[in-house]
């Protein structure tokens, strides 16, 4: 994935997320035969990057979200922790821009 990691990242997926590489990250996930650990890592950076993309645009979702949603649903048990993280339940309505979308995915399980 050619990430600019230094080795001291605490929340590497958030720190290395890149809103300009969402399509590339989705392609990496879809085009490679990944282990479950690699799928989880790839999805982590995909979700963080898509959240940054939403923060920087006026869109609520686009074609990328529909592919991400498909990927999440196809491996729902593997990604259950990620779903819970991004669907965060707090008194704050939407902690992340992606939260409402992830809550919709969770509601279909």
Calculate the CA dihedral of residues 9, 75, 18, 23 and round it to 10 degrees: 150
* Domains: count for the chain: 1
**pLDDT value of residue 34:** 96
- What whole-number distance in Å separates Cα of residue 45 and Cα of residue 16? 7
State the pLDDT at residue 8: 58
- Residue 93 has what pLDDT? 67
1 within domain boundaries? no
> For residue 9, what pLDDT is reported?
52
Q: Which segments of the chain have a pLDDT < 50?
A: none
Q: Do the domain assignments include residue 11?
A: no
Is residue 84 in some structural domain? yes
Question: What global pTM score does this model have?
Answer: 0.87
Orientation of helix 36-55 relative to helix 22-31, angle to 10°? 160
Q: Which domain holds residue 88?
A: 19-107
- C-alpha 99/C-alpha 97 separation (Å) is 6
């Amino acid at each position: 994935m050619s990430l600019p990691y230094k080795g001291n990242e605490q929340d590497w997926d958030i720190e290395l997320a890149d809103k300009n590489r969402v399509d590339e990250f989705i392609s990496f996930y879809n085009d490679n035969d990944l282990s479950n650990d690699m799928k989880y890592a790839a999805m982590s950076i995909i979700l963080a990057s898509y959240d940054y993309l939403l923060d920087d645009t006026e869109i609520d979702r686009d074609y990328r979200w529909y592919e991400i949603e498909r990927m999440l649903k196809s491996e729902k048990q593997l990604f259950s922790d990620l779903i819970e993280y991004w669907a965060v339940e707090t008194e704050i309505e939407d902690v992340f821009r992606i939260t409402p979308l992830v809550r919709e995915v969770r509601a279909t399980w």
